[in-house]
């Protein structure tokens, strides 16, 4: 009887992914991302065992991926996944070196997240509750904008996660971390209307707060489509996607309060450096006001002297 050949590289990856799921308890989507990145490392390294890889090999792989069109941001994420994988192998499998240490990836241009103005956000929500689906849409969009949720966080909500007496929502974010976020008056009112109609759509065994027309937990793609349809109906000039509402929430709260740490907690960011991008948006907003209001704000371009 011929036994299948043992693949040490695949076994190492499988063990690491199990560690991420069972010990570090990372989210499913995060584990899937690691799985893709490590499958790529396995493919690029071909017959070379992981313990045989050196810094120049990893640099060569990064150059290959960059040449194929992968952005600096994607390369940084991929390299980070490889680096933490080798750290795991050093700690638990007696590896001697991490070939990813000290390697830098090409930088990508930084793009600030797109946000709606407060008027645009209000216009997006300004549609009538004519049926169950429109009631659901309004409740979803109001909650998005009111509490700055991620798309996947919204999808996973259950009815009992909304606390109407305290005006807050219980959210399970990245890494299965729970946080409590305030919910505004408009969102609470929209949610009450939706919950009164939810039973007409939801399947008996469904515990999802937001369900599809078939009664199952709503799919993220459906939310994206419904948001696009509503934005077109309301004749918004800006492109609107779920993360636009999260970005708008963060930017508008920061503009009003100036409390970066509070915004970090509400967004569920592990690092405040992630939240700091909204300080740039805030500055842009202030700069526009300054340009329009200050009589000497607009500086003329001075042509080079001909002397």
Interval 271-281: pLDDT, tens: 776 666 666 55
| Position 1 pLDDT exceeds 50 | no
Domains of the chain as residue ranges with CATH: 8-92 (1.10.150), 118-292 (1.10.443.10)
CB atoms under 10 Å from CB of 165, counted, come to 5
How far is residue 35 from each of residues 29, 58, 63, 72, 136, measured CA to CA in Å? 10, 18, 21, 19, 35
Integer Cα distance of 26 and 266 in angstroms? 20
- Would the pLDDT of 301 be above 90? no
- Calpha distance 67→126 (Å, rounded): 46
Choose the weakest-confidence range: 90-94, 129-133, 250-254.
Answer: 250-254
Residues 6 or more apart whose CB falls under 8 angstroms from that of 51 comprise 89, 95, 96
What ranges in 128-173 are assigned the alpha helix state H? 132-147, 151-155
* Residues recognised as catalytic: 150, 174, 243, 246, 269, 278
Q: Which residue has the tokens 């709606």?
A: 116
Tens-digit pLDDT profile for residues 63-79: 999 888 888 888 999 99
Contacts of 91 (CB under 8 A, 6+ apart): none
Q: What angle do CA 83, 86, 92 make, to 5 degrees?
A: 140
Give the pLDDT band of residue 302 (cuts 50, 70, 90). Answer: very low
- CA–CA distance, 8 with 54 (Å, rounded to integer): 18
Segment among 48-52, 128-132, 263-267 with least mean pLDDT: 263-267
Kindly tell me if the per-residue pLDDT of 136 is higher than 70: yes
**Interhelix angle for 28-45 vs 8-22, to 10°?**
160
Strand partners, 178: 172
Q: What is the pLDDT of residue 3?
A: 40
Cβ-contact 152, 29 below 8 angstroms: yes
Q: How confident is the model at residue 305 (pLDDT cuts 50, 70, 90)?
A: very low
Crossing angle of helices 242-257/220-233, nearest 10°?
A: 70
Least confident of 41-45, 74-78, 196-200, 283-287: 283-287
Q: Taking Cα atoms as reference points, which of 107, 111, 89 lies closest to residue 98? A: 89
- Confidence (pLDDT) at 295: 54
Q: Are 88 and 80 in contact (CB under 8 A)?
A: no
- 299 has pLDDT over 90: no
Ordered strands of the 178-182 beta sheet: 162-163, 168-172, 178-182
Determine which of 19-23, 131-135, 203-207 has the lowest per-residue pLDDT on average: 203-207
The mean pLDDT of 97-112, rounded to a whole number, is: 79
Q: What is the pLDDT of residue 288?
A: 56
Question: What is the pLDDT, as a whole number, of residue 252?
Answer: 79
Q: How confident is the model at residue 110 (pLDDT cuts 50, 70, 90)?
A: low
- pLDDT for 155: 93
């Amino acid at each position: 009887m011929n036994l299948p050949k043992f693949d040490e590289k695949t076994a190492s990856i499988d063990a690491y992914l199990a560690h991420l799921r069972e010990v570090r308890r990372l989210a499913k989507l995060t584990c899937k991302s690691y799985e893709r990145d490590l499958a790529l490392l396995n493919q690029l390294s071909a017959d070379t065992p992981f313990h045989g890889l050196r810094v120049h090999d990893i640099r060569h792989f990064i150059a290959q991926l960059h040449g194929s069109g992968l952005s600096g941001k994607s390369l940084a994420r991929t390299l980070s996944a490889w680096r933490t994988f080798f750290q795991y192998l050093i700690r638990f499998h007696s590896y001697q070196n991490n070939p990813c240490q000290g390697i830098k990836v090409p930088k990508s241009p930084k793009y600030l997240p797109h946000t709606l103005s407060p008027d645009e956000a209000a216009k997006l929500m300004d549609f009538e509750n004519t049926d169950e689906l429109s009631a659901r849409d309004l409740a979803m969009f109001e909650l998005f904008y009111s509490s700055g949720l991620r798309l996947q966080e919204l999808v996973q909500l259950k009815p009992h996660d909304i606390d109407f007496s305290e005006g807050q929502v219980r959210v399970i974010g990245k890494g299965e971390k729970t946080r409590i976020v305030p919910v505004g008056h408009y969102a609470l009112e929209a949610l009450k209307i939706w919950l009164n109609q939810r039973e007409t759509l939801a399947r008996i065994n469904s515990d999802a707060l937001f369900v599809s027309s078939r009664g199952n937990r709503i799919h993220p793609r459906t939310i994206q489509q419904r948001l696009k349809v509503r934005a077109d109906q309301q004749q918004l000039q800006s492109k609107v996607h779920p993360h636009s509402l999260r970005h708008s929430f963060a930017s508008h709260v920061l503009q009003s309060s100036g409390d970066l740490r509070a915004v970090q907690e509400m967004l569920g960011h592990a690092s405040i450096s992630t939240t700091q991008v909204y300080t740039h948006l805030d500055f842009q907003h202030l700069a526009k006001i300054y340009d329009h209001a200050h009589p000497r704000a607009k500086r003329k371009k001075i042509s080079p002297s001909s002397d």
